[in-house]
Amino acid sequence: MVDIAALARLGGVKKYAADEVFFNFGDRGKEMFIILKGRVGVYINSFDGFQTKVAELKAGDFFGEMSLLEGLPRSATISSLEETVVLIINDANFEQVIAQQPSLALRIMKGMSNRVRQQNEELSFLKRGSKQHDEEALEGEVTAAPAAPVALSGAIFPPGHKSYPVMAPQTHEPYLFDRDTDCPVCEKKFPVRMMRSSKMRLERVDPDMRQRFEEFEPVWYNIWVCPHCLYANFNFEFKQISDALKPKIIEHGKTLKSKINLTDSKPRKIDEVFLSYYLALQTAQQAAKPDSGKLAKLWIRLSWLYSDVGDEEMYEYTSREALANFKDSFFNGRRDTSVEQDQRLNLVLGELSLRLGEKEEAMKFFRDAIVRKGGGNNVLNKQAEDRLSELRKAVTENESGV
Ligand SMILES: [Zn+2]
Ligand 1 centre distance from Cα of residue 26 (Å): 22
* Gap between the Cα atoms of 3 and 395, Å rounded: 64
The pLDDT of residue 311 is above 70: yes
**What is the distance in A from the centroid of ligand 1 to the CA of 157?**
21
**How far apart are the C-alpha atoms of 163 and 275, rounded to whole Å?**
10
For residue 143, what pLDDT is reported?
A: 34
- Give me the pLDDT at residue 334, please: 62
Q: Coil, strand or helix: which one is 264? A: coil
| Choice between 248 and 116, residue whose per-residue pLDDT is larger | 248
Report how far ligand 1's centroid is from the alpha carbon of 178 (Å).
18
- Fold of the 4-110 domain: Jelly Rolls (2.60.120)
Distance from Cα 339 to the centre of ligand 1, integer Å: 37
- 109: pLDDT strictly greater than 80: no
Q: Is the pLDDT of residue 46 over 70?
A: no
Range from 8-17, 305-314, 330-339, 377-386 that averages highest in pLDDT = 305-314
Query: How much distance in Å is there from the Cα of 288 to the middle of ligand 1?
Result: 20
* Lowest mean pLDDT across 315-319, 328-332, 348-352: 328-332
Give yes or no for a contact between 54 and 45, defined as CB atoms under 8 angstroms apart: no
- How far away, in angstroms, is 225 Cα from ligand 1 center? 8
186 Cα–ligand 1 center, Å: 4
Most confident of 4-18, 40-54, 220-234: 220-234
Mean pLDDT of the chain: 83
Name the E strands within 38-175: 39-45, 51-58, 62-63, 77-80, 84-89
pLDDT tens by residue, 149-178? 344 445 799 999 999 999 999 999 999 999
First-last CA distance in the chain? 67
Ligand 1 centroid to residue 271 C-alpha, Å: 21
Least confident of 50-59, 138-147, 322-331: 138-147
CB atoms within 10 A of CB 1: 7
**Reported confidence tier of residue 326, pLDDT bands at 50, 70, 90:** very high
Topology match between the domains 4-110 and 170-400: no
pLDDT at 142: 34
Residues 6+ apart with CB under 8 A from 184: 231, 238, 239, 241, 246
Half-sphere exposure of 314 (CA within 13 A, CB side): 21
**Using an 8 Å Cβ cutoff, are 222 and 294 in contact?**
no
Please tell me the predicted confidence (pLDDT) of residue 356: 95
Find the helix or strand (DSSP H, E) in which 233 lies.
Answer: strand 232-234
Preceding peptide of 207 cis, ω within 30° = no
For the question of whether the overall pTM of this predicted structure is more than 0.85, the answer is: no
| Ligand 1 center to 280 CA (angstroms) | 13
Residue 4: pLDDT band (50, 70, 90) is low
Q: Taking the domains of the chain in order of start, what are their residue ranges?
A: 4-110, 170-400
C-alpha of residue 388 to centroid of ligand 1, in Å: 47
Query: What is 170-400's CATH topology?
Result: 1.25.40
- Does 235 or 44 have the greater pLDDT score? 235
Helix residue ranges, H only, 258-377: 270-284, 292-309, 312-332, 339-355, 359-369
Residue 156 alpha carbon to ligand 1 centre in Å = 18
Strand 232-234 and strand 51-58: the pairing is unpaired
Give the pLDDT of residue 117. Answer: 56
